[in-house]
A = this chain, B = another copy of it.
Amino acid sequence: MVKKVGVAILGLGVVGGGTYQTLVEHHDFYLKTQRVDITVESVLDLNLERLKALGVPDECIAKSIEEVLANPNVDIVIETIGGIGVAKTFVTAALRDGKTVVTSNKELICKYSHELEKIAKHNRCGLYYEASCVGGVPIIRTLLDGVQANTITRMMGIVNGTTNYILTKMTYEGANYADVLKEAQKLGYAEANPTADVDGFDSMYKLSILSSMAFHTKIPYTKIFREGISKIDIKDIEYGKELGYTLKLLAIGKNEGKGIEVRVHPTLIPNSHPLASVNDSFNAVYLTGDAVDDIMLYGRGAGALPTASAVVSDVIYAATHSEIKYSTFKNNATADSSVKFISDFTSAYYIRLSVADKAGVLAKISGIFAKCGMSIVEIAQKGKSEVIANGESRVPLVVITHKTSENKVKSAVAKINATDIADVEAVIRVEE
């Protein structure tokens, strides 16, 4: 009745350490509630101090991946190293050996799931990666087994905790980007080199994985439009607030019939939208399906124990289900050629301009928008007139457009910047 399962953990940093701790502390609980006897049989990490601090028994400490894989008691290999160097080599070796792999590695899955799933399938073992996206939130299980009855038309997610922490601080404390980033780095919420988070790479990898599952077709990350938060001016958060919007870095996937659009960028959403109140390092994914309508999953997107919750959930799932769900989309590195991707996507826009403080300017600006085929919901002068370098008086002007296309906006921006009466200082997409 009880199933015995031996696991190995590769890399015992934050997530791997949390996973070790969770498995050890819950051993009897899983035995009782899941009827699985899960034991950690082998661990691999260069940092022996770390293993000592975790209390790993000496006999479990392996010296090489070969030693781990040679251990006949190891059924499942957990990879929590990260990156696509040694992690890829080890995962490939484990799958070739017929071991089921559970990983928290978003970059690896985003870039190589096609290759790794092929090996897993060939060797009849599983490849699970719930922990690669949105920490402890069971979004992958939900896509596979919870909303699989639906055609998913839209997905909007706050999938990066660091940027959400920064934007929350900017929004509620009025602090500017550089200061909040510094503070986040001091607190360990942001890396010394924050690029992966603040420039949207992390969100992009996760969107590639989640949208591939939601839309049942491979969405290579190269198809994803990406814009980070490092150029966000506190002014735009303030003006957004005044207009009833909250600024979030969203990962957006849409498949509404005309093709697929995938993008990561700062986005203004109405304050009443459930995503608008997802604050600090919390994450959430908001999905729309043709039967279920809107649903949202909310929780901690990172951290040792929340991510361990997802890793161990996969281990238990692998141990208690014999069917392995491989991707149903073609296992290619590149997109299915029959799928159309929309790069000239449609959105409403928030545009902030600095305009000359004189008569006739508003008419001229409105005229340019109209000529470009854009219609305007709201136009408002913000703040006071300021004298700029050439002695001219300038005033901030905020425009909210109806839904229009990215290309039309680009063309209007170029036309406005070519005049001597106005400059576009910020363009932010708006979603409902």
Contact = CB atoms under 8 A, between A and B. Distances in A.
A194 interface: no
A270 interface: no
A320 interface: yes
Interface residues of A, number: 54
Contacts of A317: 145, 148
A67 B292 CA distance: 32
Contact of A26 (B18, B149, B294): B149
B316 A292 contact: no
A109 B406 CA distance: 51
Nearest to A291: B309
B305 A146 contact: no
B149 A138 contact: no
A136 B292 contact: yes
B34 A309 contact: no
Contacts of A296: 296-299
Contacts of A89: none
A291 B306 contact: yes
A289 B309 contact: yes
Interface in A8-50: 18, 22, 26, 29-30, 32-35
A292 B309 CA distance: 5
A305 B34 CA distance: 32
Given A142-B138, A216-B32, A323 B325 contact: no
A173 interface: no
Interface in A181-198: none
A35 B146 CA distance: 16
A32 B273 CA distance: 33
Interface string A398-413: 0000000000000000
A151 B328 contact: no
A51 interface: no
Number of copies of this chain in the oligomer? 2
Interface string A125-144: 00000000000111001100
A306 B93 CA distance: 43
A328 B300 CA distance: 28
B136 A295 contact: yes
Given A291-B312, A297-B297, A299-B293, A22 B149 contact: yes
A277 interface: yes
B298 A292 contact: no
A308 interface: yes
Contact of A35 (B29, B149, B328): B328
A147 interface: yes
Nearest to A279: B272
B313 A145 contact: yes
A305 B291 contact: yes
A138 to B, nearest CB: 3
B298 A29 contact: no
Q: List 10 A-B pairs, minimum CB-CB distance, nearest first.
A: A138-B146, A295-B299, A136-B292, A149-B312, A292-B309, A291-B309, A296-B298, A291-B305, A141-B146, A149-B313
Given A18-B291, A296-B299, 10 more contacts: A136-B295, A142-B146, A277-B277, A291-B305, A293-B300, A293-B305, A296-B296, A297-B297, A322-B323, A323-B323
